[in-house]
Amino acid sequence: MEFLSYLISGISLGSVYAIIALGYTMVYGIAKMLNFAHGDVIMIGGYISFCAMSYLNFPGWLALILAMVVCTALGVVIEGLAYRPLREATSLAVLITAIGVSYFLQNSALLIWGATPKVFSPIVEGTQNIGGLSVSNISLLTMAACIVIMVVLTLFTSKTKMGKAMRACSEDKGAAQLMGINVNRTISTTFAIGSALAAVAGVLMCSAYPTLMPTTGSMPGIKAFTAAVFGGIGSIPGAFLGGILLGIIEALAKAYLSTQLSNSIVFAVLIIVLLVRPAGLLGKYVPEKV
């Protein structure tokens, strides 16, 4: 019984990681860059919907849509200003720029909203009692959203024209361009989708763990990055699986081993998994050709 309740905490936490990791893996898969500013876009999404709900009295769903619109715009602007000029540069240069963007977003949020933590009012209240275990509605919503997003993204990338263009860019940018694909537009679209997902993740995360500070996004961002790598970065089902497993491991480690070292245990499991499967759980291992 206790075990089940720990498991449920783990899955709830894991679904938050998973939803962030989906955005991460989407951007990585297509643009081949580690977008360290992703966590901060989540934080911005949280603040936007917080403001919409508490100052403009928007209902939860409308605040969510507003946050998605603002974050999408933000994502496209960041991509256009900071990442596009570096398309031909080394991946490390882009990584450092992403870190610069992350600092920029955090410090802007600090100036705009101040350092005092805000308490986010959840977009969905209440709990459900399933077989004697209480599960909060927000966790159920997060899990549902997670599964829906995973399915939609998988279908999008495999069935639609834009999705196919994205996969083509991911395989080989030069060849894709020769085939008449507008690489810049494709990557912008990817960022737009990734940032919209970040906004959703922000609102759901802040609803589940209701405080909001300028640094709220950074640690979940790193965890989600870990989750994405765990599942095989670039793989959409992999990000989902990685996120959920990470949450479960973290919760069980806290419950049975040590609350102190739960983070280390998560990372240790990650290291072991990567040593056995160097491309993550569901990642494609591409052998080098001579």
SS3 132: coil
Query: Is 73 among the residues that bind another protein (CB under 8 A)?
Result: no
Query: Is 154 among the residues that bind another protein (CB under 8 A)?
Result: no
Q: Which stretch binds another protein (CB under 8 A): 60-68, 114-122, 147-155, 195-203?
A: 114-122
Question: What is the separation of C-alpha 14 from the centre of its chain, rounded to a whole number of angstroms?
Answer: 11
Query: Is 80 among the residues that bind another protein (CB under 8 A)?
Result: no
Measure the CA–CA gap between 76 and 260, rounded to whole angstroms.
Answer: 39
Query: Is 127 among the residues that bind another protein (CB under 8 A)?
Result: yes
Query: Is 288 among the residues that bind another protein (CB under 8 A)?
Result: yes
Count of residues in the chain: 290
Query: Is 50 among the residues that bind another protein (CB under 8 A)?
Result: yes
Footprint of another protein on 3-42 (CB under 8 A): 5-6, 9-10, 12-13, 16, 28, 34
What character string, x for contact with another protein (CB under 8 A) and - otherwise, covers 129-148?
A: -----x-x------------
Query: Is 263 among the residues that bind another protein (CB under 8 A)?
Result: yes
Question: Binding residue for another protein (CB under 8 A) from 90, 132, 174, 178?
Answer: 90
Footprint of another protein on 182-201 (CB under 8 A): none
Cβ neighbours around 284 below 10 Å, total? 10
Alpha helices in the chain (DSSP H): 2-31, 38-54, 60-78, 91-113, 137-159, 161-171, 173-178, 183-208, 218-231, 236-252, 262-276
Question: Binding residue for another protein (CB under 8 A) from 56, 59, 77, 114?
Answer: 114
Question: Binding residue for another protein (CB under 8 A) from 58, 62, 80, 117?
Answer: 117
* Residue nearer to another protein on the CB measure, 182 or 258: 258
Footprint of another protein on 205-234 (CB under 8 A): 205, 208-211, 213-215, 219-220, 222, 225-226, 229, 233
Closest approach of another protein to the CB of residue 105, in Å: 8
Contact 208, 10 (CB under 8 A): no
Question: What is the separation of C-alpha 220 from the centre of its chain, rounded to a whole number of angstroms?
Answer: 8
With 0-12 / 13-18 / 19 or more C-beta atoms within 10 angstroms meaning exposed / middle / buried, residue 158 is exposed
Measure the CA–CA gap between 124 and 195, rounded to whole angstroms.
Answer: 22
Question: What is the separation of C-alpha 90 from the centre of its chain, rounded to a whole number of angstroms?
Answer: 24
Closest approach of another protein to the CB of residue 79, in Å: 13
